[in-house]
C-alpha cells in the first residue's frame, strides 16, 4: 500500500503542476529507503514538469531539461499540493517543491519506505528497479498466452503470482484478494493448474477491479490520502478484503496467512479446479 490505483489517482492529482516552473526545493531529510540525490536541488530548480506518468507503482515526472524525477510511495508515502499560504509543516515531510503558481508539493512518508530518485529521461527504463518489472495490467501485451506461458510450470499459488512484480507490475495484496474473488479463483491454486480459459477470466478481473478502484480514487485504510487531501472510496466496495467471518451470497468469508500476508477468500465461491 499504496498500490496501482492509489498511484494512478496520485498522478491524476499531480496534473495541475504540469508546465509550472519549479522555483525552489527544500530538503528536510534525505533519508528514505535510499538517500535522496544530493544534486536534486540544482537539477530541479527553474525547470518545468512536462509529463507525469506511471510504470508499475513508480511515478515518473519528466522535466524539460532531459531529466526525470522518479517517486515510489513505499508503504506510507503520499503527496499533498497546498497553496503557499495554506501549507502547514508536517513532521514527516521530507521534500518540498515550490512552483511559480504559488503551490507547494510536499512528499510525506512516516515509515520512510518510499524513495525519490533522479534519472536521465531516456535512461528511466534502464533503472534496475524498473527494468525488472513485468507488464502493466493495462498493457495490450498482457494477453492470455503471455500469462499462461509465464505460469504454466509454476507451483506457486496464483495469489502470490499476482503479487510478483516481475510478471505483472502494480498489483498489491488488497487488490489481489478482490481480483481473485471476482474471477472466482482460489488464491491457493497453483499457476500450473490454470488453463487458458481461466487466465482469460483472471485478466478480465484484474482490469475490472483496478479500473473500479481508480474511478473511486483508490483505497484509504491507513495512510493513503490523495493530493488534495481527500480519501479514496474503494474500501466501501470490498467484497472479501477485511471481511473475515462475514457472509457473501450466503457463504462465509475466511482469512488465512499466506506467504506472510492476509488472504481473504470465500472457499464456496472461489473454486480450486
pLDDT at 234: 83
User: What is the topology classification, in CATH, of domain 144-265?
Assistant: Helicase, Ruva Protein; domain 3 (1.10.8)
Query: Beta strand 93-99 with 22-27: parallel, antiparallel or unpaired?
Result: antiparallel
Q: Summarize the confidence of residues 88-111 as an average pLDDT.
A: 92
Q: Is residue 57 flagged as an active site residue? A: yes
| CA 105/CA 96 separation, integer angstroms | 6
Q: What is the CATH number of domain 4-131?
A: 3.20.190.10
pTM beyond cutoff 0.75: yes
Query: Beta strand 247-248 with 115-120: parallel, antiparallel or unpaired?
Result: unpaired
pLDDT classification of 2: cutoffs 50, 70, 90: confident
Query: String of b and e for 231-241 (b: at least 16 CB within 10 Å)?
Result: ebebbeebbbb
Dihedrals φ, ψ of 206, to 5°? -55, -50
Q: Is the peptide bond before 2 cis (omega within 30 degrees of 0)?
A: yes
Where in the chain are the domains?
A: 4-131, 144-265
Domains 4-131 and 144-265 share a fold: no
- 190 has which bridge partners? 157
* Residue among 51, 239, 255, 261 flagged as catalytic: 261
**The pLDDT of residue 223 is above 90:** no
pLDDT at 209: 97
C-alpha torsion sign, points 263, 269, 270, 273: positive
**The pLDDT of residue 227 is above 80:** no
**Crossing angle between the packed helical segments 196-215 and 173-183, to the nearest 10 degrees:** 130
C-alpha torsion sign, points 173, 215, 235, 228: positive
Dihedrals φ, ψ of 66, to 5°? 75, 15
* Residue among 6, 57, 157, 187 flagged as catalytic: 57
Q: Is residue 3 flagged as an active site residue? A: yes
**The pLDDT of residue 230 is above 80:** no
Grid coordinates in use for 224? Answer: 493513503
Query: String of b and e for 51-78 (b: at least 16 CB within 10 Å)?
Result: ebebbbbbbbbbbeeebbbbbbbbebbb
| Residue that the C-alpha cell 473475515 belongs to | 244
* Residue among 3, 6, 62, 178 flagged as catalytic: 3
User: Among candidates 217, 186, 216, which has minimal Cα distance to 202?
Assistant: 186
CB 175 within 8 A of CB 209: yes
pLDDT at 273: 59
> Per this entry, what is the length of the chain?
273
Q: Summarize the confidence of residues 117-145 as an average pLDDT.
A: 96
Instruction: Specify the 3-state DSSP secondary structure of 75.
Output: coil
Q: What is the DSSP string of 48-75?
A: BEEEEEEETTEEEEEETTSEEEEEE-TT
Burial of 222 (0-12, 13-18, 19+ CB in 10 A): exposed
Q: Summarize the confidence of residues 115-134 as an average pLDDT.
A: 96
| CA 215/CA 36 separation, integer angstroms | 32
pLDDT in tens, 160-210: 999 999 999 999 999 999 999 999 999 999 999 999 999 999 999 999 999
Amino acid at each position: 500500500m499504496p498500490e496501482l490505483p492509489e498511484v494512478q489517482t496520485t498522478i491524476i492529482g499531480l496534473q495541475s503542476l504540469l508546465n509550472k516552473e519549479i522555483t525552489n526545493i527544500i530538503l528536510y531529510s534525505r533519508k528514505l529507503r535510499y538517500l535522496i540525490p544530493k544534486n536534486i536541488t540544482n537539477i530541479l530548480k527553474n525547470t518545468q514538469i512536462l509529463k507525469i506518468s506511471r510504470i508499475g507503482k513508480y511515478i515518473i515526472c519528466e522535466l524539460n531539461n532531459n531529466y526525470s524525477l522518479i517517486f515510489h510511495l513505499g508503504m506510507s508515502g503520499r503527496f499533498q499540493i497546498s497553496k503557499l499560504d495554506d501549507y502547514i509543516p508536517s513532521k514527516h515531510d521530507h521534500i518540498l517543491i515550490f512552483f511559480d503558481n504559488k503551490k507547494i508539493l510536499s512528499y510525506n512518508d512516516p515509515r520512510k519506505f518510499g524513495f525519490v530518485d533522479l534519472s536521465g529521461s531516456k535512461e528511466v527504463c534502464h533503472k534496475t528497479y524498473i527494468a525488472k518489472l513485468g507488464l502493466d495490467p493495462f498493457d495490450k501485451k498482457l494477453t492470455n498466452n503471455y500469462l499462461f506461458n509465464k505460469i504454466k510450470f509454476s507451483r506457486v499459488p496464483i495469489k502470490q503470482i499476482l503479487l510478483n512484480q516481475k510478471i505483472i507490475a502494480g498489483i498489491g495484496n488488497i487488490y489481489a484478494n478482490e481480483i481473485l474473488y471476482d474471477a472466482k479463483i482460489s488464491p491457493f491454486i497453483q499457476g500450473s493448474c490454470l488453463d487458458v480459459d481461466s487466465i482469460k477470466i483472471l485478466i478480465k478481473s484484474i482490469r475490472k477491479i483496478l479500473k473500479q478502484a481508480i474511478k473511486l480514487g483508490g483505497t484509504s485504510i491507513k495512510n493513503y490520502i490523495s493530493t488534495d487531501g481527500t480519501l479514496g472510496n474503494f474500501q466501501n466496495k470490498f467484497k472479501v478484503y477485511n471481511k473475515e467471518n462475514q457472509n457473501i451470497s450466503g457463504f462465509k468469508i475466511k482469512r488465512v496467512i499466506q506467504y506472510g500476508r492476509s488472504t481473504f477468500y470465500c472457499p464456496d465461491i472461489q473454486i480450486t479446479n
